Structure 1
């Protein structure tokens, strides 16, 4: 397991950076994010998060995450019809960089390329519940 993790970490640092950033894929990003979201730090009720990619076409611009205690997080490309608790406005490159651990969340927020508006608890715990790519987490431990 240690060898596989070390190879994955090496690939994340030296190979996937250029490949990932050259071939951004919102569907792959959103499905990976959905799998890693941790609803535990979220309010103990259903939370609706809308992610708006301002640089994408209308067909793929809006995504909704539905997190409920004790359930897997759902991902929707069509408005599920619930009131939104947190709006996240960004571009695909920024969200990919944040997810992959190439860019700190605080830097993206401070620079204005990642904007959170809505429920203060969801905003405050964003980094905790968002999760990250497995290798992004490893990189932070190694660095």
Structure 2
């Protein structure tokens, strides 16, 4: 890892910190715990991290035994956590739960990122409440620049694809809101019914898909659903 001189302490917290507390490292571990295996999938989870730095961090994590880099049959590589890496799951979850409880304000949501929000929703999406066959759901954030305004989730045979260009399929549901509103719903800070009532969330399309939105979308992994706004 990067050499900052070290903490100079023979202490497990100090030694772990020298490995895990470098910039982006815990977010990469988070992405691997979420199931990302390919370089491009990891990049989507850390969109502001340069490809060169991501590659460097992955090699460093391999060197210290947190992940394994394996060759794929098609000539590419995939990244998997080692046993030591898997044991970081409760650490990452505890950090996320602590941050959700103590750091983020209910009054101001900061660091909004549509690509990361949609990638999180795509990963957590539960196809079971949706109708059989292909289902296409568009998210529209009118206040954003054109390149970030429209996102499509295409659910087919249990797989979920995320597109930021029109896939050309008939829509089952159009979800229209600000990015702030959708992020607040995802984080359990507000609810779908309350945002609809306030006019900040508009659902257009098939009623069963709209009615089941919270069931198929779910919440951020760091939200205690029993404490989320009902």
After TM superposition, the structure 1 = structure 2 runs for residues 37-76 of structure 1, keeping only pairs within 5 Å, are 37-71=125-159, 73-76=160-163
In the other structure, the counterpart of 1:141 is 226
Aligned to 1:102: 189
Considering Cα pairs closer than 8 Å and 6+ residues apart, tell me whether 1 or 2 has the greater RCO.
Answer: 1
**RMSD over equivalenced CA pairs, Å:** 2.0
Larger helix fraction of residues: 1
For 1:15, the equivalent position in structure 2 comes to 103
Q: How far, CA to CA, are the matches of 1:61 and 1:3 in structure 2?
A: 34
| Residue pairs, 1:122-137, within 5 angstroms | 122-136=209-223
Aligned residues: 139
Return the index of the structure with the highest Cα Rg.
Answer: 2
Q: Which runs of 5+ in 1 are unaligned?
A: none
Report the TM-score when normalising by structure 2.
Answer: 0.56
Deviations 1:87-115 (A, max 9, x none): 00000000000001111111111111111
Instruction: Go from structure 1 to structure 2 and tell me whether the alpha carbon gap of 1:134 and 1:17 turns closer, same or farther (over 3 Å shift).
Output: farther
Q: 1:53 touches 1:92 (CA, 8 Å); kept in 2?
A: yes
Distance in 2 between residues matched to 1:34 and 1:44, nearest whole Å: 18
Q: Tell me the equivalent position of 1:119.
A: 206
